[in-house]
Amino acid sequence: MLRWLILGLLIYGLGTAFKNGWLEVQWQQLFEDAGLDLGDQKQPLHEHPILKPPLKSTPVD
């Protein structure tokens, strides 16, 4: 029971820290360390092709 309380407090604390800006994730550096090359660093992260869903192809008549 104590484990669940500590785990809950840890998750709550991390959520509060991210929301208030006390912790910050540097996504570009994280992806580079993981070996994912996303190309242009000036391009916003959400516009990279690796993170976009695939386009649906339409049948040609």
DSSP code of 9? H
> How far lies 51's CA from each of 9, 31, 41, in Å?
32, 12, 14
User: pLDDT tens, 9-47?
Assistant: 999 999 999 899 888 888 778 888 888 776 666 767 667
Q: How far is CA 45 from CA 27, 50, 58, in A?
A: 8, 10, 28
Contact 13, 5 (CB under 8 A): no
**Do the Cβ atoms of 39 and 48 come closer than 8 Å?**
yes
Categorize the per-residue pLDDT at 55 as very low, low, confident or very high, splitting at 50, 70 and 90. confident
Is 17 within 8 Å of 23 (Cβ atoms)? yes
**Global pTM value:** 0.46
